[in-house]
Chain A
Amino acid sequence: MNPRLAQKIAFAVLLLATLLVVLPVLVILLIIVGKGASAISWDFLFSMPRDGMTAGGIFPAILGTLYLVIGAIIFAVPLGVLAAVYLVEYSSDNWLSRLVKLSIVNLAGVPSVVYGLFGLGIFVTFFGFGASILSGSLTLGIMILPVIITSSREALESVPRHFRTVSLSLGASRWQTIRHSVLPHALPGILTGMILGLGRAAGETAPILFTVAAFYLPRLPQSVFDQTMALPYHLYVISTQVPGIAENVRYGTALVLLSLVLLLNLAAILIRSRFRRKKKW
């Protein structure tokens, strides 16, 4: 075959494949917005569910998800950023750093439902926290640790070597160098990772199934030892477990969850591209 023609055909096929990957995002968005927008109202967002979830709003689920992701972030961000500092600034290429890197890869690959089992075994049962916001947050926190470590690592590695050399040559200690000459420049990247972690934690269902999520609990949690409803689990419940829920309520719940997660991710993408453009080196 004529190579020019072959190229034309091949490029068209590749473009088609790319569209097949990207278009579903639009289709999913259109379906959910189209069918769910009519359910969204002040009452839907800010009132309690009533009559076995067939009426009222989804406020406890929204608030529960917020509590859970905040808890997960409080736990995972300090630990993740320090772990990244260890890998980039302190470790040499020895067996320990290789072991740490391999562990991070594996943490990222552990199925979410296995995190749920782990949280049930260690936090709910072994430490006796029960099914609670604390157990759920810790479980989600460990799950998003790899996301935070990986993006913090990239952010730290993107700070040029000579920033450190200059600081050290002026007599600063290793930690002072990291604290004042490296971390500030890595901050936008770390922030991006944090937001991506937030989005991931907000959308996950399997890790919270056995560690915190309540089927139907029309009151707000009072302490970190309380159970709570959560948006992703609520969507699962009303779309598979409870018959007779109005269709637009299901789509509306999906819309709220999807907006929350996609807005967080969009924010992360924007911060990152802005940071890349403004970078002076």
Chain B
Amino acid sequence: MKPMRVRKLKEWLIEKTILLSGIFSVVFVLLIFLFLLREGLSLFRGESVIDFIFGKSWYPISDPPRFGILPLILGSLLVTLGAAAISVPIGIAAALYIAEIAPLRLREALKAGIELLAAIPSVVIGFIGMITLGPWIKNLFNIPTGLTALTGSVTLAFMAMPTIVSIAEDAITAVPRQYREAAIAMGATKWQTTWRIVARAARPGMLAAVMLGIGRVIGETMAVMMVTGNAAIIPTSFLQPVRTLTATIAAEMGESVQGGPHYAALFAIGIVLFVITFLINGVADLYLHRSRR
């Protein structure tokens, strides 16, 4: 009977290891939040949360330093809105084409192409944006620098596109066949079916796709840091340099003193980003589940 018992013990150990590995994902999310709080909360000993979020000036190294992130929040918001305005219509249209219209072979090729676009490292996209798009926008609008919110929006639009297209495409493909057959049988053209029936039925999934795309844009760091010009001022137009929340962390962490207020302020920005993306992803996930049902 002994080997049997050893085997049982081994199985028990393996099953517990598997359970533990599953739980690790939860642990990591908690740890990320805890460590952001641990390093970031010390800022609020000398600074109120209201002053931090709604403060109009970000002068982290002047004396006394000012840690108001409103310009950074508005910078992120402006770039994100611009990127969404470009990528949502194009992305949804491309998803409709790939899911409903493209012949099978073309469809596979297009999907592979979009996967490759998603794979291009953000620093490479930033590099290309900086070197080609920047000068082009500078000449087009005749402005002193091409590194502007608009440049950031266009660059980020391409980075949001793969997320939007692939998730929206999944949602469109998941619409039951009978919907299409019924519409065609009633005499609708393929386009009428696609637009009025299929696109409408896939709406919750498309909404999730848009939200996840926006989540990706808000969190994007390297490309946006390279193409937006990084001026921490409250933006008034698309044609001026802005600085986003993410770029501020990436650009300034190296020069901050560990444990000092500037260091804590950068972690506090991390908390803001974490909460924003947590909410966006949570809500998008709800919509995805609804669309699957």
Contacts and interface: CB of A to CB of B under 8 A. Distances in A.
A102 B31 CA distance: 15
Tell me whether chain A's interface is mostly helix, strand or loop, or mixed.
Answer: helix
A83 B22 contact: yes
Interface stretch (A4-12, A53-61, A157-165): A4-12
Interface string A210-225: 1000000000000000
Interface string B254-268: 100010000000110
Contacts of B220: 111-112
B110 A18 contact: yes
Interface stretch (A41-49, A66-74, A201-209): A201-209
A3 B183 CA distance: 14
B19 A90 contact: yes
A117 B267 contact: yes
B115, B226, B282: residue with the most chain A Cβ atoms closer than 10 Å: B115
Interface stretch (B53-61, B63-71, B116-124): B116-124
Contact of B36 (A7, A100, A121, A236): A121
Given A145-B25, A203-B121, A125 B226 contact: no
A265 B116 CA distance: 7
Contact of A209 (B114, B128, B250, B282): B250
Contacts of B113: 21-22, 25
Interface stretch (B43-51, B233-241, B272-280): B272-280
A32 interface: yes
Contacts of A82: 17-18, 21-22
B14 A14 contact: no
A226 B108 CA distance: 43
B93 A14 contact: yes
A113 B250 contact: yes
Interface string B206-245: 0000001001001111100010000000000000000000
Given A85-B18, A239-B226, A262-B119, A106 B36 contact: no
21 contacts: A20-B94, A25-B116, A79-B24, A80-B21, A82-B18, A82-B21, A90-B15, A90-B22, A99-B26, A108-B281, A122-B35, A203-B122, A203-B124, A204-B121, A206-B246, A240-B130, A250-B127, A254-B124, A257-B123, A261-B121, A262-B120
Q: Which 8 interchain pairs have the tightest Cβ spacing? A: A111-B219, A203-B121, A86-B22, A82-B21, A17-B93, A109-B281, A7-B191, A121-B35
Interface of A: 3-4, 6-7, 10-11, 13-15, 17-18, 20-22, 24-25, 28, 31-32, 78-80, 82-83, 85-87, 89-91, 96-97, 99-100, 102-118, 120-122, 125-126, 142, 145-146, 149, 173-175, 199-200, 202-206, 209-210, 232-233, 235-236, 239-240, 250, 254, 257-258, 261-262, 264-266, 269, 273
